[in-house]
Amino acid sequence: MKRENLKVGMYSIVDENAEIDSNVTIGNFCVIHAGVIIGQGTVIRDYVELRSGTVVGKNCQIDSRVSSSGNNRIGNNVILRYDSIIAKGCDIGDGTYVCPRVMTNNLDTEGHSIGRAKVGKNCFIGTNAVLQHGIIIGDNVIIGSMSFVNKNCDSDSTYIGAPAKKI
């Protein structure tokens, strides 16, 4: 746990058992729980909460009001924009861009927590998209704004609509 050049804003809480690499910036009013791992060069803006088991890669940008339910992985060079929710068990691949207010869901229709939505590498997830539990989005996929993804998405494809369809 390096914590070299760690910058923490006002009123943020960073648990001593969070593993934070060098050159990390954490904004104001953030909560970083025990068991969180944050990679080198990552920038976290204001009002972010990362719960236990969240692993954030190197050189990520986490915008204001992003929440992570824990036990998930955010790859290297990922951008999570304003007010997105990363549900328990999600995996977001390297180089992915998640637009504002994207929501991942970890509950099935019976209310059981099953999580495990997986987003591949170099994807673009549009504003207000909803990713259902257990889906797999391949590499280099574009998900249109306001789409509802309830089935797996093939690599190198574009999906739009509710429910999302390949175009």
**Tokens at residue 27, please?**
């904004």
pTM of the predicted protein model: 0.94
- pLDDT at residue 106 above 70? yes
What is the average per-residue pLDDT within 5-24?
97
Topology of domain 81-167, per CATH?
UDP N-Acetylglucosamine Acyltransferase; domain 1 (2.160.10)
Ranges 1-10, 121-130, 148-157: which has the least confidence: 1-10
* DSSP 8-state symbol, 14: E
CA dihedral sign of residues 128, 132, 138, 139: positive
Q: Do domains 1-68 and 81-167 have the same CATH topology?
A: yes
Question: Can you give the pLDDT at residue 1?
Answer: 55
- pLDDT at residue 108 above 80? no
Question: Can you give the pLDDT at residue 113?
Answer: 75
Question: Can you give the pLDDT at residue 105?
Answer: 86
As a CATH number, domain 1-68 is 2.160.10.10
* 115-147 per-position pLDDT tens digit: 689 999 999 999 999 999 889 999 999 999 999
Question: Can you give the pLDDT at residue 9?
Answer: 97
CA dist 156 → 93, 120, 123, 140 (Å): 14, 10, 9, 5
Question: Can you give the pLDDT at residue 110?
Answer: 78
pLDDT > 70: what percent of the chain? 99
The rounded mean pLDDT for the chain is 95
Q: Where are the domains of the chain?
A: 1-68, 81-167
Residue among 55, 44, 49, 38 nearest 4 (CA): 38
What is the average per-residue pLDDT within 45-52?
98
